[in-house]
């Protein structure tokens, strides 16, 4: 008996993409990564990701959805929800009554939002108070260059867009930290208490207005500059969504450039492949990409997937085309395209290696997320996983199955349960990320490309 053959036939091993891909395929991997980096740099907030996705969709023949219009095979449409989420549809060969294929990814990322009354002055410096958004390790956000993004709605209703800190000639913003010489007490604290949220205050200036008749002259000078440039006053921050994100652009990592360091891979690293897959695939069933907001804060609110917006949209499409919406949901399938925690050898103790995702081993299927005994998750059925893996294998997708860390260590959630709760078969699929939720995260280029290939295969073949 040839035991080598026996091993090949019986043993499941994760395979590294560098052992599988041809030179030509690697060329495609590298060029896809360049497109993705450009998308990332243009999409630092969910609003910017919606704009950039709409721009790409329009350039590829998608049209704005018209309520009540009947669409036919091949039609490509999109609908934007409150400028913070976007749904794109490509009508398939099969009637919508046969169900739809959904890829859902989120385009919000952890960051520092400004408080509603953010501006103050202290010790002759002006600052913004922040309120962090999503799960962050606060110490990571001090002493790094930050850029300001968002919108301000003025008292008269005019909306002003603000972006400062992305151009090389722009100023950046900055949160101070204590020098080691005076940090003896701070260094004794735990990482979670050493930097309290109320000290994540952003330095925005130190120059004063000339008059000595007023107090808080540094704050007033900063306000006067904002008024000059944007026509806003302090009260306008009350109706604003301004956020601080790392000012860095996406950059390659390593002598071989095989990985990418960037802000917000979670989850634009799945959003972009999903968008591209919809553009590049002729789908068997009507296929939908939903790029959603609010995942990082629990998916609540009318731009998050714990609301009805996606499901109401599918219901409208079904009804217009003479199908029963509940029947459509039951027959539909969804890839909840979100990231997994890549095995990190420096912190091996939190991973269970047989069930951890590995860098360069392809897109990651995650059967369930949750914590403490699969609490608060959708657990994809064996039948559904079986169907998905067959499609991936038939299309030469490099994929791996993983959990998120050791069972007792922690856990996490995605939008999967909100989709599955609507009676739609759902499984998580996405890219393995190193340093997830850090200001700058890392992913491997092969894994991004394989995620794209996986979503293409799903749209093309799942029925
Ligand atoms: Mn995510
Ligand atoms: Mn996340």
pLDDT tens digits, one per residue of 290-315: 999 999 999 999 999 999 999 999 99
Q: Which ligand is nearest to the Cα of residue 339, counting in written order?
A: 1
CA–centroid distance, 71 to ligand 2, in Å, is 35
CA–centroid distance, 431 to ligand 1, in Å, is 10
Tokens of 62: 């998608």
Average pLDDT over residues 118-141: 98
Average pLDDT over residues 128-147: 98
pLDDT at 413: 93
Same domain membership, residue 123 and residue 102: no
Same domain membership, residue 234 and residue 124: yes
Same domain membership, residue 98 and residue 167: no
CA–centroid distance, 106 to ligand 1, in Å, is 7
Average pLDDT over residues 271-291: 98
Residue 251 in any domain: the answer is no
CA–centroid distance, 419 to ligand 1, in Å, is 15
Q: Which ligand is nearest to the Cα of residue 296, counting in written order?
A: 2
CA–centroid distance, 271 to ligand 2, in Å, is 13
201 has a pLDDT exceeding 90: yes
Average pLDDT over residues 315-336: 98
Same domain membership, residue 181 and residue 269: no
275 has a pLDDT exceeding 90: yes
Same domain membership, residue 116 and residue 95: no
Q: Which ligand is nearest to the Cα of residue 111, counting in written order?
A: 2
Average pLDDT over residues 74-103: 98
Residue 165 in any domain: the answer is yes
pLDDT at 227: 98
1 has a pLDDT exceeding 80: no
Domain containing residue 206: 111-246
CA–centroid distance, 151 to ligand 1, in Å, is 24
Same domain membership, residue 304 and residue 184: no
CA–centroid distance, 112 to ligand 2, in Å, is 14
Residue 309 in any domain: the answer is yes
CATH number for the domain that contains residue 384: 3.40.630.10
Q: Which ligand is nearest to the Cα of residue 105, counting in written order?
A: 1
65 has a pLDDT exceeding 80: yes
Residue 258 in any domain: the answer is no
Same domain membership, residue 95 and residue 137: no
User: Is the CB of residue 292 less than 8 Å from the CB of residue 105?
Assistant: yes
CA–centroid distance, 108 to ligand 1, in Å, is 8
Q: Which ligand is nearest to the Cα of residue 428, counting in written order?
A: 1
CA–centroid distance, 362 to ligand 1, in Å, is 17
CA–centroid distance, 67 to ligand 1, in Å, is 31
CA–centroid distance, 135 to ligand 2, in Å, is 7
Same domain membership, residue 143 and residue 90: no
pLDDT tens digits, one per residue of 228-262: 999 999 999 999 999 999 999 999 999 999 999 99
Average pLDDT over residues 185-204: 97
pLDDT at 282: 98
CA–centroid distance, 342 to ligand 2, in Å, is 13
Give percent of the chain with pLDDT exceeding 90: 99
Please tell me the total count of domains within the chain.
2
CA–centroid distance, 243 to ligand 2, in Å, is 17
CA–centroid distance, 109 to ligand 2, in Å, is 7
pTM metric for this prediction: 0.98
CA–centroid distance, 327 to ligand 2, in Å, is 32
CA–centroid distance, 169 to ligand 2, in Å, is 31
pLDDT tens digits, one per residue of 206-219: 999 999 899 999 99
Residue that finishes a domain, picked among 214, 246, 278: 246
CA–centroid distance, 335 to ligand 2, in Å, is 16
CA–centroid distance, 338 to ligand 1, in Å, is 5
pLDDT tens digits, one per residue of 154-172: 999 999 999 999 999 999 9
Same domain membership, residue 295 and residue 225: no
CA–centroid distance, 412 to ligand 2, in Å, is 8
């Amino acid at each position: 008996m040839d035991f080598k053959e026996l091993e090949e036939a019986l043993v499941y091993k994760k395979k590294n993409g560098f052992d599988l891909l041809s030179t030509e395929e690697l060329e495609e991997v590298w060029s896809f990564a360049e497109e993705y980096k450009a998308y990332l740099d243009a999409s630092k907030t969910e609003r910017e990701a919606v704009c950039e996705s709409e721009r790409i969709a329009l350039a590829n023949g998608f049209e704005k959805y018209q309520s009540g219009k009947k669409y036919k095979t091949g039609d490509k449409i999109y609908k934007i929800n409150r400028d913070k989420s976007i749904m794109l549809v490509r009508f398939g060969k099969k009637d919508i009554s046969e169900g739809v294929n959904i890829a859902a990814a989120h385009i919000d990322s952890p960051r520092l939002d400004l408080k509603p009354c953010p501006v103050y002055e202290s010790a002759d410096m002006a600052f913004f108070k922040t309120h962090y958004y999503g799960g962050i390790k606060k110490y990571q956000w001090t002493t790094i260059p930050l850029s300001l993004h968002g919108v301000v709605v003025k008292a008269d209703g005019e909306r002003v867009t603000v972006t400062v800190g992305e151009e090389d000639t722009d100023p950046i913003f900055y949160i101070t930290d204590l020098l080691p010489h005076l940090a003896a007490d701070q260094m004794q604290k735990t990482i979670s208490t050493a930097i309290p949220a109320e000290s994540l205050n952003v330095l925005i200036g130190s120059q004063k207005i000339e008059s000595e008749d007023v107090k808080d002259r540094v704050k007033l000078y900063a306000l006067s500059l904002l008024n000059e440039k944007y026509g806003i006053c302090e009260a306008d921050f009350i109706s604003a969504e301004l956020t601080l994100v790392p000012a860095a652009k996406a950059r390659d990592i390593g002598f071989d450039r095989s990985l990418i360091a960037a802000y917000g891979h979670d989850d634009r690293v799945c959003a972009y492949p999903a968008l591209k897959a919809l553009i590049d695939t002729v789908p068997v069933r009507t296929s939908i990409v939903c790029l959603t907001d609010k995942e990082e804060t629990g998916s609540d609110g009318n731009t998050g997937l714990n609301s009805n917006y996606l499901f109401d949209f599918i219901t409208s499409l079904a009804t217009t085309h003479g199908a029963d919406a509940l029947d459509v949901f039951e027959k539909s399938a969804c890839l909840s395209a979100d990231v997994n925690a890549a095995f990190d050898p420096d912190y091996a103790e939190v991973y269970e290696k047989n069930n951890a995702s590995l860098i360069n081993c392809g897109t990651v299927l995650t059967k369930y997320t949750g914590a403490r005994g699969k609490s608060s998750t959708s657990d994809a059925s064996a039948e559904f996983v079986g169907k998905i893996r067959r499609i991936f294998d038939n299309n030469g997708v490099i994929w791996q199955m993983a959990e998120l860390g050791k069972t007792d260590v922690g856990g996490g959630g995605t939008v999967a349960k909100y989709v599955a709760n609507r009676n739609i078969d759902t499984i998580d699929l996405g890219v393995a990320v190193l340093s997830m939720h850090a200001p700058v995260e890392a992913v491997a280029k092969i894994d991004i490309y394989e995620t794209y290939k996986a979503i293409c295969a799903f749209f093309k073949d799942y029925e």
